[in-house]
Amino acid sequence: MGGVGKTTILTEINNKLGYSDYESDCGYDFVIWVTVSTTIDLAEIVNCIGSRIGRDDEEWRSKRLEDRASDIFAFLNKKKFVLLLDGLWERIDLKKIGIPVPSLQNGSKVVFTCRSEDVCGVMGAQEKVRVECLSPENAWDLFCKKVGKQTIEAHPDIHSLAMEVCQKCYGLPLMLNTLGLTMSSKRTPSEWRFVLNRLVGNAVIPLMEEKILSNLKLSYDSLENETIKSCFLYLCFVTRTPRIEMHSKEELVLQWFADGLLEDLVDDADNYFHVLDCGYAVLSALQSAGLCDSGPFYHNAHRLYKMHDVIIEMGQWVSH
C-alpha cells in the first residue's frame, strides 16, 4: 500500500550510505538512487544511473540505449555498489539497464520498494521486508508531533477531536504527516469538527486507496489560494520524477511564471527576484501543507524537494 513508509526507509538507507564525500567509507563505491515511473522507462532509468556514475554528457546520452547500458555494466562490474529502486510496479531486467547481478563475490546489492509481493517474486528477491502501518500509539505520537503541542492544548475539546482525526489516518505515516501539518494551524474545535465530519463522510468509500486519496485531499483543499493549488497540480502532472532538485528550483518557478500560474501573486513581472520570491513562497506553502518535503534527502550532493507518489496520485485524482 502507498504511504506506509517504504520510501522513507529507502531514503534513510540512501542518506546513510550515500551522502558523504567518499562513499567507500561505508564499504560501497557507489550508492545509486532511481525513482521508477509507474510505466517503466528504461531510457530514463539508464540516464539516471549514468548521471550517478559520471556519464551525463550529451555525447553519452546520444548513444543507443543498449550501448549506454553496456557502458554502465562495464563500469559497475568492477565496483561494489548499492542500487536503490523506489516504486517498482513490475519486473525490470537488470541487464537491460546495465546492472551486474549482485552476488556474494562482488558484494553489491539491489534494494527496491513495491506495493505487491508478486513483484518481489518476479524480481527474485532474496529477502522481503513487509512495512506495516503504525500501531495506534505510534500513530498518535507522530500525529501530535506534526500538529504541535500548542494546537492540541489550544482548547480542551481539541484533544479528543484530534484523536478521532488520527484514527482516520489508518496508521499510515504519509496521512499522519500530511493531515497533521494541515491541522497544525487549526486551533478551534469547530475547525477540527469540520475536518472530522469530512473524513467520516469519506469513510463510506469502499476502496481503501480511494479513501486515502479522499482524506489526503483535505490538505489540498486547505491550501490558501488557487495559485498554490494550480502550482501543486502542475507538479503532479508535469514533473516526471517526484523530486525537485534544489538547484533547479529557480527553473521550476520560471516555468510556473511562463505558464501564467503566478499571475495573481506577481505585482512586478519585470522584477526577476520578485518573481522568484513569489514562486519560492508557493513552494514553502506546499511544504507547510505536507504536500512536498525538502529533506533530508540528497542526490549528487544536492538537497532535494520530494513529493510522495501517493501525493502525486492524489493530485491527479483531484483533477479527474
Distance, CA of 225 to CA of 263 (rounded, Å)? 12
Distances (CA, A) of 257 to 22, 67, 219, 296: 39, 39, 24, 28
Phi and psi of 207, rounded to 5°? Answer: -85, 125
Q: Are residues 239 and 294 in the same domain?
A: yes
Q: What percent of the chain has pLDDT over 70?
A: 88
Report whether 207 contacts 244 (CB < 8 A).
no
Q: Hey, what amino acid is at 166?
A: C
Distance, CA of 267 to CA of 274 (rounded, Å)? 8
Where is the domain boundary, 198, 221, 244?
A: 221
Q: Are residues 172 and 195 in the same domain?
A: yes
In a domain, 129, yes or no: no
Q: Is the Cα dihedral 221, 226, 229, 234 positive or negative?
A: positive
Where is the domain boundary, 221, 238, 270?
A: 221
Q: What is the pLDDT of residue 112?
A: 95
Q: What is the pLDDT of residue 243?
A: 64
In a domain, 19, yes or no: yes
In a domain, 128, yes or no: no
Report whether 82 contacts 104 (CB < 8 A).
no
Average pLDDT for residues 130-153, to the nearest whole number? Answer: 94
Q: What is the pLDDT of residue 19?
A: 59
Q: What angle do CA 258, 283, 89 make, to 5 degrees?
A: 95
In a domain, 131, yes or no: no
pLDDT tens-digit map of 223-278: 989 999 999 999 888 765 666 665 578 888 998 999 999 999 888 888 889 999 99
Distance, CA of 242 to CA of 223 (rounded, Å)? 20
pLDDT tens-digit map of 91-101: 999 999 999 99
Highest mean pLDDT among 24-28, 178-182, 250-254, 296-300: 178-182
Residue 22 has pLDDT above 90, yes or no: no
Q: What is the pLDDT of residue 222?
A: 85
In a domain, 109, yes or no: yes
Confidence of residue 134 (pLDDT cuts 50, 70, 90): very high
Within 8 A by CB and 6+ apart from 43, the residues are 65
CATH code for the domain of 307:
1.10.10.2260
C-alpha cell recorded at residue 36: 521508477
Q: Are residues 41 and 96 in the same domain?
A: yes
Distance, CA of 86 to CA of 113 (rounded, Å)? 5
Q: What is the pLDDT of residue 295?
A: 58
> Residue 22 CB: number of other CB atoms within 10 A?
7
Q: What is the pLDDT of residue 140?
A: 97
Distances (CA, A) of 301 to 110, 133, 295, 315: 21, 31, 12, 29
Q: Are residues 118 and 142 in the same domain?
A: no
Q: Are residues 216 and 246 in the same domain?
A: no
Average pLDDT for residues 85-89, to the nearest whole number? Answer: 90
Q: Are residues 238 and 196 in the same domain?
A: no
Q: Are residues 190 and 106 in the same domain?
A: no
In a domain, 61, yes or no: yes
Average pLDDT for residues 178-207, to the nearest whole number? Answer: 78
In a domain, 130, yes or no: no
Residue 39 has pLDDT above 50, yes or no: yes
In a domain, 1, yes or no: no
Q: Are residues 297 and 203 in the same domain?
A: no
Q: Are residues 171 and 85 in the same domain?
A: no
Residue 197 has pLDDT above 90, yes or no: no
* Total number of domains in the chain: 3
Q: Are residues 303 and 202 in the same domain?
A: no
Q: Which helix (H) or strand (E) holds 208?
A: helix 208-221
Greater confidence (205 vs 229) lies with 229
Report whether 89 contacts 36 (CB < 8 A).
yes
Q: What is the pLDDT of residue 244?
A: 66
Greater confidence (149 vs 246) lies with 149
Distance, CA of 181 to CA of 291 (rounded, Å)? 9
Residue 283 has pLDDT above 70, yes or no: yes
C-alpha cell recorded at residue 70: 553496456
Distance, CA of 51 to CA of 146 (rounded, Å)? 35
State which residues form the domain around 172: 136-221
Where is the domain boundary, 100, 122, 144?
A: 122
Q: Are residues 117 and 148 in the same domain?
A: no
Q: Are residues 170 and 106 in the same domain?
A: no
Q: What is the pLDDT of residue 201?
A: 43
The pTM of the full predicted model, rounded to 2 decimals, is 0.68
Q: What is the pLDDT of residue 242?
A: 61
Confidence of residue 209 (pLDDT cuts 50, 70, 90): low
